[in-house]
Each structure stands twice: as structure tokens, then as C-alpha cells.
Chains A and B, each alone.
Chain A
Amino acid sequence: AQTVTQSQPEMSVQEAETVTLSCTYDTSESDYYLFWYKQPPSRQMILVIRQEAYKQQNATENRFSVNFQKAAKSFSLKISDSQLGDAAMYFCAYRASYNTDKLIFGTGTRLQVFP
């Protein structure tokens, strides 16, 4: 069975600095998708970034980028130029490539941003 592990329950960063959130996963599949979701206090799940396992190039969305290491089964999220609005819970998620959008989530990392 696939599992997703986030080993950092909490992280903090100063405004304008860079922070990296860790995620590892376990799967026997070779083709799959990985995601980072942001959950602010409103509880809304917001997709931050996605990565297809068959793509070697790391995904980037503005200030958010990932370091995808397929052999190590690692998928970390880097937030550059952190802003106060980035404070939230961040969840790493795995989705198999076969016919489903079912997601397996990690336990989350709470990110605090200090001015």
C-alpha cells in the first residue's frame, strides 16, 4: 500500500526568507502523481503544485517549487520569499496514475510565518 510521510509537524520562517517542507512516500508503482496542498484556517484545500512522476523536471509555480527525487521517493516543497499569507497547514499527497483521483495524504506540516 502507498504511504506518505511528513516528518515535520511544524516549521517556521521569517517573512521574505525561504523554507523547505519535507515529504517522503512509498509506492511500488512507477507512474504516479504528487501534490502539495495548502489548508489555511478556512479549511479550504488549495492545490499549490503538482508533479508527474514521469517528468524529470521539477515543477515550479511562482514562489513555490519542488525537489522531486524519484529514486529516493522524496518530494519536498520550497517556498521562496515567504509571505504572511503562506501561513497554513501543508499536506503532501500521492495519487496513482491508474483510473482514479483518490489521494493519499501525509499528516501535514504547520507553517508559521513571522514578520
Chain B
Amino acid sequence: NAGVMQNPRHLVRRRGQEARLRCSPMKGHSHVYWYRQLPEEGLKFMVYLQKENIIDESGMPKERFSAEFPKEGPSILRIQQVVRGDSAAYFCASSQLTDRVNTEAFFGQGTRLTVV
């Protein structure tokens, strides 16, 4: 049972380009969470998705950022017109949420985005 897979591991974009980050949840998991980690900081929640639905996007910047989790395929975090301040590590976590007591979110290894 493969873990949460994120790709690419490293992504370099020039200012103004688009960045697409992918997350394949663990098998059987239908809940995906995206977090951003700025240098020397903790992870900050961005968005929570279930298949085809955005459940909680309270941590998403209002502009340039979007996320989706289609019925088929990975979850995508999309950043349009990237700026230097978007440089960070972006983590995806997935969970099953079938058992409230033992549920746990499993993390991918993150995508490090560098904007030059």
C-alpha cells in the first residue's frame, strides 16, 4: 500500500508562471488536505477536499491559488502567476475518516517550490 505520493519533489518556476502540484492519496483515502510550510515555519493549513468537493478553503489565499480533487486522478494545487513569496514546501495529507477515534492523516514528502 503506497503512501501519499506527491510530485514533483522539486519545482522551479519563474515569476509569473503557473505551478501545478500533484497529490495522490493513499489507496482508499477520499479526503485530502494541503498545507504550506514557509522556511523555518510550521505547516499552515490551506484547503481540505473530498472527491469533487472543496470542504474547507479557509487557509487558501483569495487570489491565484486553487485546488481540486477530481473523481479520477490526483488532487491538484494550482498557483497562477507565481511570486517569490510563494516559494515554500507544499505538503499533502490524506485520510479516510471512517473511524473518528483512530483516523489519522498521512503526509506526503512535499513539493518544494522555488520561484526565481
Interface membership of A104, Cβ < 8 A: yes
Interface, chain A (partner B; CB < 8 A): 4, 6, 42-45, 47, 50, 52, 91, 97, 99-108
Q: Give the Cβ gap from B9 to chain A, nearest Cβ, in Å.
A: 9
B43 in complex: contacting residue of A6, A47, A105, CB < 8 Å: A105
Closest residue of A by beta carbon distance from B43: A105
B97 touches A43 (CB 8 A): no
A102 touches B43 (CB 8 A): no
A101 touches B103 (CB 8 A): yes
Interface residues on B, range: 20 to 34
Which residues in window 6-59 of B have CB below 8 A to A? 31, 33, 35, 41-45, 48, 55-56
A97 in complex: contacting residue of B100, B105, B107, CB < 8 Å: B100
**B residues near A47, Cβ cutoff 8 Å:** 104
Contacts between the two chains (Cβ within 8 Å), count = 54
**A residues near B31, Cβ cutoff 8 Å:** 101
Q: How far is the CA of A104 from the CA of B112 in the complex (A)?
A: 20
Q: How far is the CA of A50 from the CA of B103 in the complex (A)?
A: 11
Q: Give the Cβ gap from A110 to chain B, nearest Cβ, in Å.
A: 9
**A residues near B95, Cβ cutoff 8 Å:** 101
Q: Contacts A44-B107, A101-B33 hold; do A107 and B89 have CB atoms under 8 A apart?
A: no
Q: How far is the CA of A108 from the CA of B43 in the complex (A)?
A: 9
Q: How far is the CA of A42 from the CA of B95 in the complex (A)?
A: 22
Q: How far is the CA of A42 from the CA of B42 in the complex (A)?
A: 15
**A residues near B44, Cβ cutoff 8 Å:** 105
A103 in complex: contacting residue of B41, B45, B89, B100, CB < 8 Å: B45
Q: How far is the CA of A57 from the CA of B107 in the complex (A)?
A: 27
B56 touches A102 (CB 8 A): yes
Known: A6-B42, A105-B35, A105-B44. 10 other contacts (CB 8 A): A4-B42, A42-B109, A43-B112, A45-B107, A50-B104, A52-B101, A101-B103, A102-B48, A103-B93, A103-B105
